[in-house]
Amino acid sequence: MSFLEVVAATTLLALLAATLSAALGAVRGGEARARSQLAAAELAHRLIVMHLDDPESMPSQNLPIDYDGRLYNWRLQQQPIALIPLGEEEPGARSAIDRFRRLIVTVWLSPDSGGNPSPDTPGSGAVTLTRIYDQLPMRNPDSIRGFIGDGDAESIRRLLEVISPAPSNGRR
């Protein structure tokens, strides 16, 4: 074998090793991003369930949440649902429709754990889950008891507000 052949073979071997190393690094990076997004989705789901069970027990949105060894920021938004009836509405149907809300939870990796300060940044890995729900908690007996409370004036006022909201004067 000549000197040139040895140099060419060594160069090809080095290029092959570099290519394999880059490919393995890309696979590991993709796996880390996927794990981070999965953890963000799990956390978003837990936050939705927490909010549905007891909105007062939610952690502060200003502080990150430690989950799976990383810190995650989150935000929660509620929006009324606007339904457009296809035909003539039945009496009392509007008050039942007005009880529905859209709950939007966005979770992303905190800058303290190598993430972005905003979920709107491209590549932030933010996960957004949306759930439409009825404000009247008929999910299970515990939810009903938690919503009604001890029957104090505030609990009764909140229940009446959900059951018969103020007229909406048109669509939202």
Q: How many Å is the Cα radius of gyration of the chain?
A: 26
Q: Using 70 as the pLDDT threshold, list the residues of the chain that sit under it.
A: 89-96, 137-141, 143-147, 150, 159, 162-172
- Tell me the pTM: 0.69
3-163 is a CATH 3.90.1150.10 domain: no
Q: Are 63 and 74 in contact (CB under 8 A)?
A: no
Question: 88-115 pLDDT, tens per residue?
Answer: 766 655 566 777 889 999 999 999 988 8
Question: 21-31 pLDDT, tens per residue?
Answer: 999 999 998 89
Residue extents of the structural domains in the chain: 3-163
Residues 125 and 36: their CA atoms lie apart, in Å, by 8
- Structure confidence at residue 77 (pLDDT): 96
Q: b vs e for 130-160, b when ≥16 Cβ sit within 10 Å of the residue's Cβ?
A: eeebebebeeeeeeeebbeeeeeeeeeeebe
- Structure confidence at residue 169 (pLDDT): 47
Residues 79 and 58: their CA atoms lie apart, in Å, by 18
- Structure confidence at residue 21 (pLDDT): 93
Q: Are 149 and 155 in contact (CB under 8 A)?
A: yes
- Structure confidence at residue 121 (pLDDT): 86
Residue 128, H or E segment: strand 127-134
Tokens 């007005």 belong to residue: 98
Residues 129 and 48: their CA atoms lie apart, in Å, by 8
- Structure confidence at residue 138 (pLDDT): 65
Residues 75 and 63: their CA atoms lie apart, in Å, by 10
